[in-house]
Structure 1
């Protein structure tokens, strides 16, 4: 069932072990870099979709975690905040079919899909335009600005925007061993 991922991991591991960047020309390094970025985008798709499934099935509880985000953070060696963001994006993708399709095809990075999905949920009619912007604008910062404009325009009034920000806030606290 999981042979494809095992084979991909083995192939990537072997490739990385044999990688000698100094032996590559600048042009070759740029081409390999583009392919590695594609691998990252596709891995982000799988990670995002699988994290959502873990959340839906409550597998995180069976493994003793306090939240799905805590489980995802532990399994992916990332922060809980990053895992929360991935789970929010996964839930938004359920309401944004064109964005989900572009993400699955590897046309959007994790940063791009997070921005587009958040804006498309706020203003569904903007989804295709934002996907076009994601493929044409240079840099995530410009896309983030465009998505912010869409979300701001979609908010019926300032009070609703403030309430939405308030609802999205959360606090985490812990005690370190230090």
Structure 2
């Protein structure tokens, strides 16, 4: 594997684990606010981010590349009580950042003519489209319904119904 592609993928493991930490803090915020559905949504997001790290880890191992685990930064986002929009907006910004990281790995793989890695990354490209769309929809829903107590309650119940699904690259094992 091209050294630059390897380093970017190995770094992405850390970035995905950080994303999980970040979403755990969002879940904790919503739990403290009494919004168990929003907390559930972000607990599942945290699980998915850990799974993404494991998918990258498996790809490196399957490619006979060593995995170097690094320290995970502490999330730096805090929100004031009642700021139910804050984590949603921060999540969209973060997902756009993750998309840029995936694009950087893809570009490095393209430059190295590493077609196997490009093919591997296609799942993540599609996943990021979904992640950004979900984050945008949550913001729209909060703008439309979040200022009304009944609307906020209904959104919270909707997000409480979300269930975890193993990502397809891990489900295939």
Fold-level similarity (TM above 0.5): no
- TM-score when normalising by structure 1: 0.29
- TM-score when normalising by structure 2: 0.29
Larger Rg: 1
Q: Which gives a bigger RCO, structure 1 or 2 (Cα 8 Å, sep 6+)?
A: 2
